[in-house]
Chains A and B, each alone.
Chain A
Amino acid sequence: EVQLLESGGGLVQPGGSLRLSCAASGFTFSSYSMSWVRQAPGKGLEWVSAISGSARSTYYADSVKGRFTISRDNSKNTLYLQMNSLRAEDTALYYCAKDPKLRCSIDYWGQGTLVTVSS
């Protein structure tokens, strides 16, 4: 059974940093691309970033480019999202997602971790 467990969310001041983690199990992690998708309170889904299984390819939404960095540790079956220069508009539930074809073709989602950016 595929399981994705996010952690690392919390309250941070504008301009601050957070690192999200996603522990994956139930599949061969290194063989699959992964993505982060966020959902602001009461809003729709917003694709944030994606990374290939080998980590050779990464992609970012314009809204986070230059501030967020996606990475993975295949030896630990863990996906990361380093978030710097956080803004109020980054406040959202962040979902880790398995994305087999690296084309926003998500087949499994985690339960999400909440990031709140506020002073």
Chain B
Amino acid sequence: QSVLTQPPSVSAAPGQKVTISCSGSNSNIGNNYVSWYRQLPGTAPKLLIYEDNKRPSGIPDRFSGSKSGTSATLGITGLQTGDEADYYCGTWDNSLSGGVFGGGTKLTVL
């Protein structure tokens, strides 16, 4: 059981938009920055969003992040078949004094 809650799966058609939610509490999301990662099959995770809504260089603006209270959201527009992957949110938990991840969301581009 993950500390952060993500939907197990989401799907949308090519070209459409999808959002992935990440729900936590005041001990984690509510008081710490959230990062988002994409993991393509058989590869290591890759940073998509850091500090809630910032994109590293090289990440297209199709990817966006937002946060409100104890929940964070990853948005992906202009979906491509290459976006099919597992997506994870992560942050620090002050009560646990450790990092926490969501259980991951599998994105299917129909």
- A contacts, CB < 8 Å to B: 35, 37, 44-47, 50, 59-62, 95, 101, 103-112
Contact = CB atoms under 8 A, between A and B. Distances in A.
A45 B44 contact: no
Interface residues of B, number: 27
B103 A104 contact: no
Contacts of B51: 105
Contact of B47 (A60, A95, A107): A107
Interface of B: 2, 32-33, 35, 37, 39, 44-47, 50-51, 56, 86, 88, 90-92, 96-104
B101 A44 contact: yes
Instruction: From B32, B98, B100, name the one whose CB has the most chain A CB atoms within 10 angstroms.
Output: B98
Most B-side CB within 10 Å, residue of A45, A95, A105, A107:
A45
A108 B47 contact: yes
B44 A112 contact: yes
A103 B94 CA distance: 9
B90 A106 contact: yes
A104 B91 contact: yes
B94 to A, nearest CB: 10
B50 A105 contact: yes
A81 B56 CA distance: 28
A109 B44 contact: yes
A103 B98 contact: no
B91 to A, nearest CB: 6
